Chains A and B, each alone.
Chain A
Amino acid sequence: DAMVIQNPRYQVTQFGKPVTLSCSQTLNHNVMYWYQQKSSQAPKLLFHYYDKDFNNEADTPDNFQSRRPNTSFCFLDIRSPGLGDAAMYLCATSRATGGTETQYFGPGTRLLVL
């Protein structure tokens, strides 16, 4: 089945220790998104790739970076995680055709910062 895969499902890191979360997709979608969702909050878009073009949201901290080495994979790098970065991180994909397209989500990675 075509899907969005996120690894790991749970990640524990130490305060200030860089961490990388990964996302892969078999949908062959050209757009990939990263969201942060904290408890009882709405998912918040951090950035997205439209093909190879990176689009950062204005309020995304510089601490968060992303890489997309090819169509299938996208990584979220948190350079120096703080306690406030503990959250669920959701990857999503869509096939943009000029209009608004439905986004399909992975299961998420829950990040704990100790």
Chain B
Amino acid sequence: DQQVKQNSPSLSVQEGRISILNCDYTNSMFDYFLWYKKYPAEGPTFLISISSIKDKNEDGRFTVFLNKSAKHLSLHIVPSQPGDSAVYFCAASSNYGGSQGNLIFGKGTKLSVKP
């Protein structure tokens, strides 16, 4: 039973355009969400996060939006660059219960930014 779902295995975008990566979750106890970027043969690298008390967090070209009522978050990359080509993982955690702090990951979306 997947608690964090990334329904698009891959996404292709033209350089300079916007990339939108989506993530859905089922556990209403999740209160912290993160995006990681992973290049081949490397570990995931932290990109950006958002707390459930916010609905938007921005860091340079990267913006994460959170819609708690829809249990949906998205990562926007504007403008997209070829170096952004990687697998993007959505992750969620809860500050409550026995699994406090543990991350639950989605399966990832492979982004290809074409020059």
Chain A interface residues toward B at CB < 8 A: 4, 6, 9, 31, 40-45, 48, 90, 92, 94, 96, 99-108
> Bound state CA distance, A63 and B103, in angstroms?
22
Jot down 14 A-B pairs with beta carbons below 8 A, ordered by A.
A40-B9, A42-B105, A42-B106, A43-B44, A43-B103, A90-B43, A92-B43, A99-B32, A100-B95, A100-B100, A101-B101, A103-B46, A105-B43, A106-B43
> Bound state CA distance, A63 and B102, in angstroms?
21
> Bound state CA distance, A70 and B36, in angstroms?
28
> Bound state CA distance, A31 and B99, in angstroms?
13
> Bound state CA distance, A107 and B32, in angstroms?
24
Contact of B45 with A48 in the complex, beta carbons under 8 Å: no
Contact of A42 with B43 in the complex, beta carbons under 8 Å: no
| Residues in A whose Cβ lies below 8 Å from that of B107 | 40-42
Chain B interface residue number, banded: 20 to 34
Main secondary structure of the interface of B (DSSP, over half): loop
- B49 is an interface residue with CB less than 8 A from chain A: yes
- B89 is an interface residue with CB less than 8 A from chain A: yes
Closest to A105 in B: B43
| Residues in B whose Cβ lies below 8 Å from that of A100 | 31-32, 93-95, 100-101
| Residues in A whose Cβ lies below 8 Å from that of B9 | 40
Q: A40-B108, A42-B104 given. 17 additional CB < 8 A pairs?
A: A4-B43, A6-B43, A40-B107, A41-B107, A42-B4, A42-B105, A42-B107, A42-B108, A45-B103, A90-B43, A90-B44, A100-B95, A100-B101, A104-B46, A105-B45, A107-B41, A108-B43
